[in-house]
Structure 1
Amino acid sequence: MSIGNSPEDERPFEDGRSSDGHEEEARPSVGRALQQARIAAGLTVDDVSSATRVRIAIVHAIEADDFTPCGGDVYARGHIRTLAKAVHTDPAPLLARYDDDHGGRPAPTPAAPLFEAERIRPERRGPNWTAAMVAAIVAVVGFVGFTAFKGGDSDSDAASQVTQGATPSASKPAAPKPSNTTVTPKSDPSDSAIAAAPQDKVTVQVSAVDGRSWISAKDHNGRMLFDGLLKKGESKTFQDSSKVNLILGDAGVIQLYVNGKKIEDDFQPGAVERLTYTKGDPEVG
């Protein structure tokens, strides 16, 4: 049984009697009439509340002829009309009975939402500082990234040219081409190539002459110049203002030229070598 329908609520009404014992015409109150109509329609207080969006507590109060929670005569009349329609009864007699019991129809009031008394008002919320902080961080990171990208364009272009072997031809050692063989990377660079090596920089040429090898090259700031596989017959040239750091995955297949001079180290096949070269005569760090 619903919370709105107790056995006591559904008892038939007893006829009213006057003080002299004569029966008076049965005329249920507004709340009692609404309750009877609801029960006759087979509805519970919950059903009526869900259909009208009038809170359960207010429905109970109206059926008990307590109109205080409605918030005034205008709102009480609106609730009566809404509940009467929900339980399929004519609201006009109920409104007339309410006006008789409460001093007549109320004077018009300024326009306001009909059910303002029971409207659930949204909770006031403060500023969303978390969202604001996240937006600020994103903006700062974006600005820093854009500045770094614009400032690094020239350096990126230079690094790309070096890693792809796009250095001036004068800095590369020339390799003689025998008439009946392919290019021999082990051949010594020409005198002009050695003389053309910049004296104020370190220039390192790495050639895979006997096979392929993974190599890694970084400048003096630790910035990566190249990291990948050098196939047989390929070469890469790296240049920096003070120092070039190398890692050779298979040093035995590699031939090095540093500042225009051939490095005669006896690297073993399959050996991993970590090398550092600076300006001037080649010296292994």
Structure 2
Amino acid sequence: MSIGNSPEDERPFEDVSEEARPSIGRALKRARIDAGLTVDDVSSATRVRIAIVHAIEADDFAPCGGDVYARGHIRTLAKAVHLDPAPLLAQYDAEHGGRPAPTPAAPLFEAERIRPERRGPNWTAAMVAAIVAVVGFVGFTLFSGGDEGGAGTVADGSVPSTSEPASPTPKSKKTADPKPEPSDSAIAAAPQDKVTVQVRAADGRSWISAKDHNGRMLFDGFLKQGDSKVFQDSSKVHLVLGDAGAIDLYVNGKKIEDDFQPGSVERLTYTKGDPEAG
């Protein structure tokens, strides 16, 4: 008879906490299935490409293009499947060496680039040129009429005036009036039948993508610190912010006060009725 602990008590303690915790991809996939969603459903709701959703659920984060964007995708997918993203982000940081610094967004969104922004005709310049031509013609006509009147007076025997004919000052005044440069006040006076969005890189450099309600690309590129862009559409503007924490956002003349984190990727859509509050 042995005295002391039984053989079962003498077995070494086995910590199964790590083994019991599923991987990030497995947890996201399980939550998606429990929510009754397909990969297509999640991709449509989050605008994350299907191939990247499949890769993340297989714990392959290379297609994300960097740790900053992998964290952003994990947060977005977790919210879509009703999962708390904080534990998953902590698990990702522990497995990949901590939270990284923001990296350029170009490798991630290279496939989304469709074509450069197409500029329409400069109707303002055409209208100014037409006004100048009309004013010039009217001035020339008036000036010529004055000369003919003077010639008639000399023929009748009167003494012609020696003073110089008046110069067509209305023409010079109209052509010299510069067109005012657009300013931020134009945002506050944005038409109510359109949606107007201003994006300003206030705290650093950020990649920006903007599309109209038909999915046509309005802008795709980087904004340096201090730069800004204004987008306008009849019903809807879709935005992707590569580093949302560096951006100040104004919609229909009102500043959006969302607490965007540095390095986070945000996909946003605004309509002419936004913001509904604040």
Q: Smaller-chain TM-score range?
A: 0.3 to 0.5
For the pair shown, which has the larger CA radius of gyration, 1 or 2?
Answer: 1
- The structure, 1 or 2, with the larger RCO (C-alpha pairs under 8 Å, 6+ apart) is 2
More helix by share: 2
TM-score (norm 1): 0.36
TM-score (norm 2): 0.37
